[in-house]
Structure 1
């Protein structure tokens, strides 16, 4: 591919700030719910600070930040109509759109609906302070549908006020502009961020325009309390959906859209608004934390379901999805520590309540012979999902030994009020209840070596979309059961010399009543509880400050994910031993960052991913393995109150052809979503700080 690099003129000035020293004991709260050293906790949790997550990167997709976390597979579909595809130890791999099976949180507010379906696009990476990623048994302390937890935290405005402007240009007519202001003192802080992103997309019919706004006000009423109020918005209008390709179409043209996508002009519009309030107060006896949130989400999506299929199936709900969601929730917890002389006991008790209500319609995607337009009504219903979950956690520190335990009661209720009765009444309700206990222990064999073990049970309820067509004649599948799992993990955390750290984890996950596709036709998949699965794997993470100017990260995952029981899908026998689709057996990530001068840094990162099976029988063409390399360089100068920065980045440096993600079990065989060729990116920004 031919491309042109824009010259960057470096402005004279002073140096960057001093390098951050290497630290082993990064503080996290995910998993334990109180601030603790990740080194001591008996489970796998990684912290990614803003510099590592965003520096020299476009700042558009969460997948940019998660490569260094073992066990997590974050695939950019190159399709903004369907969001990212993220899985954690295999949880979430079957999601055809959005993110499921993983709990997404931003400043304590769920980005996942109570049914477990979530979207990462609503979070603003520009305001990121850190990301914490939890895998393994203790993810279940965050409720149902939490095979893993990704928790993002925005920074508080602090220091002298400053304003900044950034702009970038990239391949495929991609551009982004950001304007921001922030600042604060010991009484209050603020941050305001507005960004505009647009692209024609690598593939045909994959253009998108995203406008994001985030504002946060932090108040410190006294030395013992903190109050944060935030507002976020996402406007995403007429985002094109190129859909997946068959293997024959991939061989013919990697950049093509599916013919049906062009025929029906498949597209999606999202308008998302959210308000959140976080309050924390310390008392002599403990700490009180409370989170309240509320918002609306409007989605209109045009699909490519065939006209004749809708005309000949009275129970078909049409090819246009139109819903308006209102959601709200509250989370309260009390954290109290007891000094027992030679030990410290910390108890956390809390209650999470989340509710969403969808006013949902379905329409035909044709009028007469005109396709891709809103036609007659085929679905009209109200869907409500409510989750109410009390929990208690305990952490007991006894010298070299650290014990953790938790118990959560998960209750998720679905209620459907069908108001389109000409094709039958799908009204009804179903409630899922499950206790999920967790236990863990870590022991310091030496000041530089901790070993740990943990166990837990988890539950994964069906989502609204999986319930919607899984009953008889595409009715609501009230008979579906939740999938339940039992997880084991053992591992070690070690300091290697003065500037390196190692994390190693071995895990096994056994799941009963796994939700799998029973049949797929006409753009609709029916699900069933038909399988037992087993996932065994190993994760390795290595970080090292090789010298004053050179830093390295390495993450490796190997997982054997198979069905451990025969079942039938789409009329075919799926035998025990078949591999679960969408889960790579091996993933390797490496990064080498070099900063020889205080005003200049550069890094190269590499990613290897083994082949991906695309459906349960493992007979369709697997997406081949691939290896990619990316390179970036960043420059920074200061001139008085002004700070300038410039970035040059090249992705897929060796111009490899590859399948970036797959659509598991697609009924039309359109499993494959190609990734982009070699692509360039240039950006520049300026910041002014007031006295």
Structure 2
């Protein structure tokens, strides 16, 4: 009997000892989502550290789990970075945002088609850059990480400004900014109502992801001929508050700092970042100074509602050195044009934008996403022969209603939406010579507007075969008021007027075949368009408005395959496309004559043919034990057979008209090859290296001038580790253009030949540069 009593007493002691843990157990619910598009991550794994207890998120990303205060919850999914969250006593519902990794990219969810879908199941070619890819570089220069995507090229006029993106041959039709594609930042349109994309007010160091939809494949964005670029900024991780400071120094006076505060609760996050950047530049009169303020906030109001806010402010001042000829590109790349020096040529920009994005899940199948934004820019740009002063005010929004039924046999998807963009541009142009302000040349008030309605749908016509179709109806309008007094110049003709381009209907159809869970094939046909931009409609140097232009039109055919092999360690993507473009806009350059400055007149006079092959391979090995944490190699290749099918210097048809039919399209390298290697060691050391090869390419319509081929080799080594429970440190040193290759970061295309037959095409990029930096983060 005494033994029985002792046994009961022992059991009571055990129960009393463990009772606090038992009482602390609580049930929480939540969801796992992709922060860039708020889409659920199906199959995400949730595991309590040090135990075998966990669960898996369902098709809606939702989960329920029994936890205790202080538990460390590890959340992971294929294609995403693992996140650890500490459970608090107040935790009842939890929203976990997983950032995409740079391995198993085919499993990352992207936007842009009928409904958000993984890259592998998307019937189109999508390029993706993740935060880990951006960290492979110094983060300042967009081209160092975006140019690794096959079919995509980023070019820069200066060391820190003048970015233009070329996607499958589109984006370099003008020598300033970008046209032919559309760009968005956190779903806020960056592209103006006139189709021009200005990127100098974006802080690339705050980006966490870049998605590129190549070709006119997405009706929901207006079927731009080049495609769509979606930029997304960093989010604050849930359940943590941190303060971080980054400092970077480098060649030619590079100095960059980032100061950020991130705080995240169970269902909200806030990220505030201030960035300061100074660059002397390697060319005479090539300095740059920039200040950025970026604020992002995400709030998950309930299971049905979420809202994100973006606030951005930029103040930048970039000096311009002008262009050099082929001789000085090799011999004196650091020189500047005299006229640029005398006029203190530069781009001074002050920019602000605010955007609000709201997601609402009406039912399990029906949802809406609406974005509204407002912004403004003040641009002061003296150049070699004048000065342009522009004030922009822009606003707009987009809304998309989506329906998805994953439980139906046909698995139908449907999205219907609209987008609206409008600009009020107040643009003045003056003569400028030797720094002395001249006469007023133009004084225009421009109202540019784009709007489109669209619909996309998909059904699973067979167990592995999905049919998709969509269409967009696109409108472009210009209203121009000429404020220049006609009496000032007797021969002057007032340029006021209004033009509404004929609406463009852009249909799309596609088939997707899922051979296995890891391999898919697709085929698509789509029509796209590219409207003339303001700088093509308005000739600021002469004050003339060109009302006779028409949008470019093109039909693209594409086939491709994506997949994961060798136990998901090897991923691949291959695509072939062919696109014929009509009404191609041709810039005609006219040299200065008398009191008339140099100017460019654009006309519809061409047809071009684009044929291309894009291939991307990646192998990632992640050992579970040992010193090595990651060994990753990748390669991408682009072949471009682009030529003028029916292309003339103008549409006059007289003796002065030059026929360029059969010539290779200028500004397009026939071969691009990129490769890279990443190595991570568990103590925290890492090594990143990339190689980019750009083939020789024609840079004039007549193919009588070429840019030489070049190879860029970039590398970075560092140490990244946690110092205790609260401090994280990252130390690194890197180098760009380690081979000291001679090349131009942006080329002015199709310039007329001067008397010495040495046009000023080239904007030289620096030889080998080095940089080093440190990032220190304290987590509360």
- Same fold flag (TM > 0.5): yes
In the alignment, which residue of structure 1 is the partner of 2:352? 273
1:582 aligns with 2:657: no
Instruction: Name the CA distance, whole Å, in 1 between partners of 2:764 and 2:306.
Output: 46
Instruction: Name the CA distance, whole Å, in 1 between partners of 2:534 and 2:137.
Output: 35
1:213 alignment partner, SS class: strand
1:117 alignment partner, SS class: coil
In the alignment, which residue of structure 2 is the partner of 1:313? none
In the alignment, which residue of structure 1 is the partner of 2:4? none
For the structure 1 residues 150 and 24, does the alpha-carbon distance in structure 2 shift closer, same or farther, using more than 3 Å as the test? Answer: closer
1:539 aligns with 2:614: yes
In the alignment, which residue of structure 2 is the partner of 1:178? 258
| CA shift digits 1:133-165 (9 cap, x unpaired) | 111231454116451111012233233110000
| CA shift digits 1:436-467 (9 cap, x unpaired) | 00111111233433211101111111101001
Task: Please state how far the C-alpha of 1:394 moved relative to its aligned partner.
Answer: 0.6
1:404 aligns with 2:468: yes
For the structure 1 residues 563 and 21, does the alpha-carbon distance in structure 2 shift closer, same or farther, using more than 3 Å as the test? Answer: closer
Aligned with 2:776 (options 675, 686, 690): 686
In the alignment, which residue of structure 1 is the partner of 2:239? 159
1:419 aligns with 2:503: no
In the alignment, which residue of structure 2 is the partner of 1:42? 123
In the alignment, which residue of structure 1 is the partner of 2:296? 216
In the alignment, which residue of structure 1 is the partner of 2:562? 493
Q: Are the equivalent residues in 2 in contact too, given 1:606–1:628 (CA < 8 A)?
A: yes
In the alignment, which residue of structure 2 is the partner of 1:631? 715
Q: Are the equivalent residues in 1 in contact too, given 2:111–2:117 (CA < 8 A)?
A: no
In the alignment, which residue of structure 2 is the partner of 1:67? 147
Task: Please state how far the C-alpha of 1:202 moved relative to its aligned partner.
Answer: 1.9
1:656 aligns with 2:741: yes
Aligned with 2:428 (options 353, 361, 365): 361
Instruction: Name the CA distance, whole Å, in 2 between partners of 1:325 and 1:470.
Output: 15
In the alignment, which residue of structure 1 is the partner of 2:55? none
Instruction: Name the CA distance, whole Å, in 2 between partners of 1:464 and 1:618.
Output: 28
Instruction: Name the CA distance, whole Å, in 2 between partners of 1:109 and 1:455.
Output: 27
Larger Rg: 2
Q: Are the equivalent residues in 2 in contact too, given 1:294–1:327 (CA < 8 A)?
A: yes
For the structure 1 residues 373 and 299, does the alpha-carbon distance in structure 2 shift closer, same or farther, using more than 3 Å as the test? Answer: farther
For the structure 1 residues 89 and 593, does the alpha-carbon distance in structure 2 shift closer, same or farther, using more than 3 Å as the test? Answer: same
Task: Please state how far the C-alpha of 1:25 moved relative to its aligned partner.
Answer: 3.6
Task: Please state how far the C-alpha of 1:490 moved relative to its aligned partner.
Answer: 0.7
Highest relative contact order (Cα 8 Å, sep 6+), 1 or 2? Answer: 1
For the structure 1 residues 227 and 566, does the alpha-carbon distance in structure 2 shift closer, same or farther, using more than 3 Å as the test? Answer: closer
Aligned with 1:523 (options 598, 607, 617): 598
Matches within 5 A, 1:368-379: 371-379=434-442
For the structure 1 residues 598 and 342, does the alpha-carbon distance in structure 2 shift closer, same or farther, using more than 3 Å as the test? Answer: farther
TM-score where L is the length of structure 1 = 0.91
Instruction: Name the CA distance, whole Å, in 1 between partners of 2:101 and 2:303.
Output: 28
For the structure 1 residues 447 and 279, does the alpha-carbon distance in structure 2 shift closer, same or farther, using more than 3 Å as the test? Answer: closer
Instruction: Name the CA distance, whole Å, in 1 between partners of 2:411 and 2:289.
Output: 52
For the structure 1 residues 21 and 519, does the alpha-carbon distance in structure 2 shift closer, same or farther, using more than 3 Å as the test? Answer: closer
In the alignment, which residue of structure 1 is the partner of 2:450? 387
Task: Please state how far the C-alpha of 1:130 moved relative to its aligned partner.
Answer: 1.6
For the structure 1 residues 296 and 33, does the alpha-carbon distance in structure 2 shift closer, same or farther, using more than 3 Å as the test? Answer: farther
Instruction: Name the CA distance, whole Å, in 2 between partners of 1:269 and 1:414.
Output: 26
Instruction: Name the CA distance, whole Å, in 1 between partners of 2:219 and 2:570.
Output: 30
Q: Are the equivalent residues in 2 in contact too, given 1:204–1:255 (CA < 8 A)?
A: yes
Which 10-residue stretch deviates more, 610-619 or 273-282? 610-619
Which 10-residue stretch deviates more, 431-440 or 242-251? 242-251
Instruction: Name the CA distance, whole Å, in 2 between partners of 1:373 and 1:109.
Output: 39
For the structure 1 residues 532 and 95, does the alpha-carbon distance in structure 2 shift closer, same or farther, using more than 3 Å as the test? Answer: same
Instruction: Name the CA distance, whole Å, in 2 between partners of 1:127 and 1:249.
Output: 36
Task: Please state how far the C-alpha of 1:224 moved relative to its aligned partner.
Answer: 1.2
Q: Which runs of 5+ in 2 are unaligned?
A: 1-80, 84-99, 487-491, 592-596, 624-629
Q: Which runs of 5+ in 1 are unaligned?
A: 1-15, 306-318
| CA shift digits 1:36-63 (9 cap, x unpaired) | 111011110122211112x142222322
Aligned with 1:262 (options 333, 336, 341): 341
| CA shift digits 1:312-346 (9 cap, x unpaired) | xxxxxxx1101110000011111112357322111
2:197 alignment partner, SS class: coil
Task: Please state how far the C-alpha of 1:21 moved relative to its aligned partner.
Answer: 9.1
For the structure 1 residues 283 and 459, does the alpha-carbon distance in structure 2 shift closer, same or farther, using more than 3 Å as the test? Answer: same
Q: Are the equivalent residues in 1 in contact too, given 2:441–2:543 (CA < 8 A)?
A: no
When the two structures are aligned, how many residues end up with a matched partner? 653
1:564 alignment partner, SS class: strand
In the alignment, which residue of structure 2 is the partner of 1:437? 507
Task: Please state how far the C-alpha of 1:526 moved relative to its aligned partner.
Answer: 0.5
Task: Please state how far the C-alpha of 1:673 moved relative to its aligned partner.
Answer: 1.6
Q: Are the equivalent residues in 2 in contact too, given 1:624–1:659 (CA < 8 A)?
A: no
Q: Are the equivalent residues in 2 in contact too, given 1:140–1:457 (CA < 8 A)?
A: no
Instruction: Name the CA distance, whole Å, in 1 between partners of 2:540 and 2:200.
Output: 28
Q: Are the equivalent residues in 2 in contact too, given 1:537–1:558 (CA < 8 A)?
A: yes
Task: Please state how far the C-alpha of 1:665 moved relative to its aligned partner.
Answer: 1.9
Matches within 5 A, 1:324-363: 324-338=391-405, 341-363=408-430
Aligned with 2:383 (options 265, 283, 303): 303
Task: Please state how far the C-alpha of 1:561 moved relative to its aligned partner.
Answer: 0.8
In the alignment, which residue of structure 2 is the partner of 1:312? none
In the alignment, which residue of structure 2 is the partner of 1:199? 279
Task: Please state how far the C-alpha of 1:362 moved relative to its aligned partner.
Answer: 1.3
Which 10-residue stretch deviates more, 175-184 or 25-34? 25-34
1:614 aligns with 2:696: no
Instruction: Name the CA distance, whole Å, in 1 between partners of 2:710 and 2:619.
Output: 26
For the structure 1 residues 130 and 272, does the alpha-carbon distance in structure 2 shift closer, same or farther, using more than 3 Å as the test? Answer: same
Which 10-residue stretch deviates more, 475-484 or 650-659? 650-659
Instruction: Name the CA distance, whole Å, in 1 between partners of 2:563 and 2:108.
Output: 16
In the alignment, which residue of structure 1 is the partner of 2:204? 125
TM-score where L is the length of structure 2 = 0.81
Which 10-residue stretch deviates more, 67-76 or 600-609? 67-76
Which 10-residue stretch deviates more, 142-151 or 188-197? 142-151
Task: Please state how far the C-alpha of 1:276 moved relative to its aligned partner.
Answer: 0.4
Instruction: Name the CA distance, whole Å, in 2 between partners of 1:137 and 1:598.
Output: 46
1:166 alignment partner, SS class: strand
For the structure 1 residues 134 and 359, does the alpha-carbon distance in structure 2 shift closer, same or farther, using more than 3 Å as the test? Answer: same
Task: Please state how far the C-alpha of 1:94 moved relative to its aligned partner.
Answer: 2.5
In the alignment, which residue of structure 2 is the partner of 1:309? none
2:649 alignment partner, SS class: strand
| CA shift digits 1:9-56 (9 cap, x unpaired) | xxxxxxx99996943542333331532111011110122211112x14
1:672 aligns with 2:762: yes
